[in-house]
Structure 1
C-alpha cells in the first residue's frame, strides 16, 4: 500500500488495512518517514518501507531505484494518495494490479480505478479509503492503533511521565490558524486542570506552545511541559496513549488520540466533524456550527479556509476554556 503523507490520513486508513488483512492479504506499507511510525502501531501490517522521497517533484531516480529493489515482490498495490507521483512506484515496480482513485491523469498508471467523488458528496475519510477494498458495503469503522504496554511505559519514563498522570494538548494544526483554538484559551484551560499538561507538536509549533506554557506556568509553576519539536513521533504516540485525556484541534494528533481510545475533546473551527470526526466513543466534539444555543448562528461555517475570511474567527474564539474543561 502507498500511504498518505499526513498523520491523520494515515490513521484513517487503518480500517482498510484491517479489512484486507482479514481476507488473508499480507500487507506491506510504503510510507514517508514522518508517518511510518503510525503504521508500525497497526498489528496487521507485516512490514513498513520508509520512502526516501521528499516533498515536491517526481524524483524519478529515487523511485526507479526503489522500484528495482521491490520488483517481483508484490501482486497488488493500493495507491491511497490521489497524486500522479504516488502511482509511479507501483508501475515502475511492475506490480500487476494497481488500485486507486482517479486523479491527476492517472488512467494509464492504475489498472483498477474508482471514480473520485465530488467534494460535496465525498463520504467520511475512513469510508473513502475503505472503499478501495472493493467491498460493496463499507462502514465507517473506528481506526485502532496498538502499542505494546512495555514500549509505552519505557517511552514515558524517558520523558519523565507516568501513565494517566498528565493531560496532552495538541494545539497546532498544519492547515492554518482557522483550525487553531487560541493559545490564550489553551493556557486558561491548562491552569484549571488538576494534573500537568504535556504540549505536543512539531518544531514549527514550539513558539505557539510556549505562548500556552508561559502564562499557565505563571499561574501554576510546572503546569505545562512544552515538548513541541522535542519528541519523535513514536514518543508522541506513546505520550498520547498514556494520557489521562487529550485536547486538540482538528489535526493528525486528534485522530491518533481517537485511535488509542483516549478520552478527548476535539475543537473544530473552519473544518467539519461531519467529514473527519474523531471516531472514538470517548470523544466530545465542540463545534459551534451545530450548537443551536449559540447566537447569532455561524452561517459561515464550515468555510474550510486557512484564515477566517471575515476576520473574527468566532467559531474558535467563542469556545471558552470553561466549556472545554466541562467536556473534558
Structure 2
C-alpha cells in the first residue's frame, strides 16, 4: 500500500477539482491510501470523496505564514510514514507540512523558491485547450500524478457522494418544501461583481420560475445574503434565502436536493456539478475553458 499525503488547495472550487488528482492517483495505484491536508471548511467536501481516507485540518488564514501550526501538524504526521506527498498550491509555505512530516518524496510544480522542500518537480506538460489562454485547472492537477497524460479523463471528473441521512436532516432543519421542484441559485462569487450575474437578472429569473410552480432556494455565505434578500423581495413568495444560514455541509445537501442549479463561477458551482445536478453556470471575467463545471 502506498500512503499518500496531499496538501490541498485553499478554495472551495479548487478543492472539488482536486478530486481529479485523487482519482488519477487511485487509477494508477489502486492500493493508494490518500490523506488530505486542508482548511477546516474543506472537511465536508473531502468527506464526500471515496478516494480520501482521512483529512487533516490546517486552519491558517490567507496571507499568513503560520510556521508554528504547519510545524506542529507536520511533526504529528511523522508516524504515518507517508511514501509520497503532492503539494498542490505553488506557495513556499504550502510545502512545509510534508517537509516537517519527513515525507521522502515531495512532488509539486515549480513555485516560490521551494527547491529542497519540493524535491520532485513536476514538469509543466499540460497545455491550454483550443481557444483558451490558460491551461485548464484539472489538467494541471492530474498531470501532477502523471505528466505523460496531462488531460483529465472523463472518468476522473469530480464526483461527490450524496448522503441521504444528512439531506433528510438538513431538509427538516431548514423546513424545506418538497412539494414543488426546487431550483437553487448561487448569486455569490469571490472577487466581486466582475464574476457575478446582476442581482436584477437573478430576480427576474426567480420571478419566472416561481410563477411556473417552482421553489427557489438561494444558497451562499453570509455576504451573499443581501443579494438573496433583494432577489426574494423582487420575486415574492416561493423564494427561500438560505445564504448565511448554512455551513458548507448543509449547503452541499441543499444543492444535492435541488432539481437544478443556476450559479455564477464560484466554488458552489463546482460542488453542484460534482453532485451531478443540472447546472447553468454564468461566467463573467473568468473563462469557462479554464475552470468549467465538470
* Fold equivalence (TM over 0.5): yes
Aligned to 1:63, the other structure's residue is in SS state helix
Is 1:207 the counterpart of 2:226? The answer is yes
Map 1:274-313 onto structure 2 (within 5 A): 274-279=289-294
The residue number in structure 2 matching 1:126 is 138
Map 1:1-150 onto structure 2 (within 5 A): 1-22=6-27, 23=29, 24-73=31-80, 74-116=82-124, 122-134=134-146, 136-140=148-152, 141=154, 142-150=157-165
- Once residues 33 and 54 of structure 2 are traced to their aligned partners in structure 1, the CA distance between those partners, rounded to angstroms, is 9
Aligned to 1:34, the other structure's residue is in SS state helix
Query: What is the CA distance between 1:139 and its match in structure 2?
Result: 3.1
Map 1:124-273 onto structure 2 (within 5 A): 124-134=136-146, 136-140=148-152, 141=154, 142-161=157-176, 165-193=181-209, 194-217=213-236, 221=237, 223-273=238-288
Query: What is the CA distance between 1:118 and its match in structure 2?
Result: 9.0
8 A contact 1:209–1:228 mirrored in 2 = yes
- Between stretches 66-75 and 86-95, larger displacement belongs to 66-75
Query: What is the CA distance between 1:174 and its match in structure 2?
Result: 0.8
- Once residues 206 and 197 of structure 1 are traced to their aligned partners in structure 2, the CA distance between those partners, rounded to angstroms, is 14
Aligned length: 275
8 A contact 2:188–2:224 mirrored in 1 = yes
CA-atom RMSD in angstroms: 1.8
For normalisation by structure 2, the TM-score amounts to 0.88
- Once residues 155 and 76 of structure 1 are traced to their aligned partners in structure 2, the CA distance between those partners, rounded to angstroms, is 38
8 A contact 2:185–2:261 mirrored in 1 = yes
Aligned to 1:190, the other structure's residue is in SS state helix
- Once residues 146 and 245 of structure 2 are traced to their aligned partners in structure 1, the CA distance between those partners, rounded to angstroms, is 41
For normalisation by structure 1, the TM-score amounts to 0.79
Query: What is the CA distance between 1:153 and its match in structure 2?
Result: 2.3
Q: Which runs of 5+ in 2 are unaligned?
A: 1-5
The residue number in structure 1 matching 2:3 is none
8 A contact 1:122–1:128 mirrored in 2 = no
- Once residues 137 and 38 of structure 2 are traced to their aligned partners in structure 1, the CA distance between those partners, rounded to angstroms, is 18
8 A contact 1:72–1:94 mirrored in 2 = no
